[in-house]
Amino acid sequence: MNRFPNPSLDRRQLLRNGGIVLSMGALVAACGPDRKGSTDPGRLGVADEPTELPDAVVDDTALLRTAQSLEYTALAVYSAATATNALSTAETALAQRFVEDHQRHAALFGSLVTDQGGVSFDCANPFLMDRAVTPTLAALDGTDDLHRDVLNIAHAFESLAAASFQALVPSLVDLSLRTEMMRIGGEENRHAAALAAVINPDVIFSPAMFGEPVEKDADGFPVPYAIPGVFGRLTGIELVVGARDAEGARYSTQLQTPAPNTYVYEYQSC
Amino acid sequence: MTDSAVADQADSDRPTRRALFGAGVIGAALAMAGSRSASAATTGLSEGDASLVGFAISLELTARDLYDAAIEAGATGQVWDVMREQHESYAQRLAGIIGVSANTRNDDVYDALVGGFRGATSQAAFDLENVAAATHTELLGVVTHTVLAGAIASIAAMESRHATVLADVAGMGDDLDALFLNTATPVSPPEA
Q: What is the DSSP string of B72-132?
A: HTT--SHHHHHHHHHHHHHHHHHHHHHT-------HHHHHHHHHHHHTT-HHHHHHHHHHH
Q: What pLDDT shows up at residue B136?
A: 98
**Sign for the pseudo-dihedral over CA of A7, A8, A9, A10:** positive
Distance of CA A263 to the CA centre of its chain: 9
Place B176 in a pLDDT band, splitting at 50, 70 and 90.
very high
A contact residues 182-221, partner B, Cβ 8 Å cutoff: 182-183, 185-187, 189-194, 197, 204-205, 209
Q: What pLDDT shows up at residue B47?
A: 87
- State how far residue A235 is from chain B, nearest Cα, in angstroms: 12
Give the three-state DSSP class for A253.
Answer: strand
Helices B3-11 & B146-169, crossing angle to 10 degrees? 80
Neighbours of A191 (CB within 10 A): 28
Neighbours of B119 (CB within 10 A): 14
A67 CB neighbours in chain B (<8 A) are: none
Distance CA B128, CA B30 (A): 18
Of A52-61, A251-260, B32-41, B120-129, least confident by mean pLDDT is B32-41
> Cα angle vertex B107, ends B102, B109, to 5°?
105
Give the three-state DSSP class for A10.
Answer: coil
Beta strands in chain A (DSSP E): 237-241, 251-255
Q: Could you give the C-alpha distances from A152 to A78, A242, A259, B28, in angstroms and in order?
A: 12, 11, 23, 42
User: Is residue B40 over pLDDT 60?
Assistant: no
User: Is residue A1 over pLDDT 70?
Assistant: no
Q: What pLDDT shows up at residue A200?
A: 97
- pLDDT tens for B116-143 read 999 978 999 999 999 999 999 999 999 9
- State how far residue B163 is from chain A, nearest Cα, in angstroms: 8
A36 CB-contact burial (10 Å; exposed 0-12 / middle 13-18 / buried 19+): exposed
* Average of per-residue pLDDT values in chain A: 90
- Residue in A113, A132, A91, A80 with CA at minimum distance from that of residue A237: A132
Q: Is B138 close to A193, i.e. CB distance below 8 A?
A: no
Amino acid sitting at position B104 = T
- Count of CA atoms in the C-beta half-sphere (13 A) of B109: 33
Amino acid sitting at position A137 = L
- Residue in A122, A233, A118, A105 with CA at minimum distance from that of residue A180: A105
Q: What pLDDT shows up at residue B166?
A: 98
Q: Could you give the C-alpha distances from A96 to A51, A74, A100, A246, B25, in angstroms and in order?
A: 41, 12, 6, 36, 33
Q: Is A173 close to B168, i.e. CB distance below 8 A?
A: no
Which pairs with CB-CB distance under 8 Å and at least 24 residues apart come from B89-94? B89/A230, B89/A231, B90/A231, B90/B60, B90/B155, B91/B57, B91/B60, B91/B61, B91/B64, B93/A231, B93/B151, B93/B155, B94/B53, B94/B56, B94/B57, B94/B60, B94/B148, B94/B151, B94/B152, B94/B155
Give the three-state DSSP class for A241.
Answer: strand
B182 CB neighbours in chain A (<8 A) are: 183, 186-187
Distance CA B178, CA B163 (A): 9
* Fold designation for A60-255: Ferritin (1.20.1260)
Per-residue pLDDT, averaged over A193-212, amounts to 97
Q: What pLDDT shows up at residue A129?
A: 98
B37 CB-contact burial (10 Å; exposed 0-12 / middle 13-18 / buried 19+): exposed
Interface size between A and B, measured as CB pairs under 8 A: 127
To the nearest 10°, report the CA torsion of A157, A158, A162, A168.
Answer: 40
User: Is residue B181 over pLDDT 60?
Assistant: yes
Q: What pLDDT shows up at residue A114?
A: 98
A209 CB neighbours in chain B (<8 A) are: 82
Q: Could you give the C-alpha distances from B107 to A57, A197, A268, B60, B64, in angstroms and in order?
A: 46, 34, 51, 12, 12
- Looking at 1.10.1060, 1.10.3470, 1.10.287, 1.20.1260, the CATH number of the domain B3-180 comes to 1.20.1260
- Residue in A2, A60, A250 with CA at minimum distance from that of residue A149: A250
Give the three-state DSSP class for A48.
Answer: coil
Q: Do B46 and B3 meet the contact criterion of CB atoms below 8 Å apart? A: no
Spans of all domains in chain B: 3-180
User: What global pTM score does this model have?
Assistant: 0.82
Q: Do A264 and A69 meet the contact criterion of CB atoms below 8 Å apart? A: yes
Q: Enter the ipTM.
A: 0.82
Per-residue pLDDT, averaged over A240-244, amounts to 97
Length of chain A: 270
- pLDDT tens for A13-46 read 656 666 665 666 565 555 555 656 677 777 778 8
Distance CA B76, CA A99 (A): 36
Q: If you measure CA to CA, which chain A residue comes closest to B5? A: A173
Q: Do A192 and A151 meet the contact criterion of CB atoms below 8 Å apart? A: no
Q: What pLDDT shows up at residue A17?
A: 64
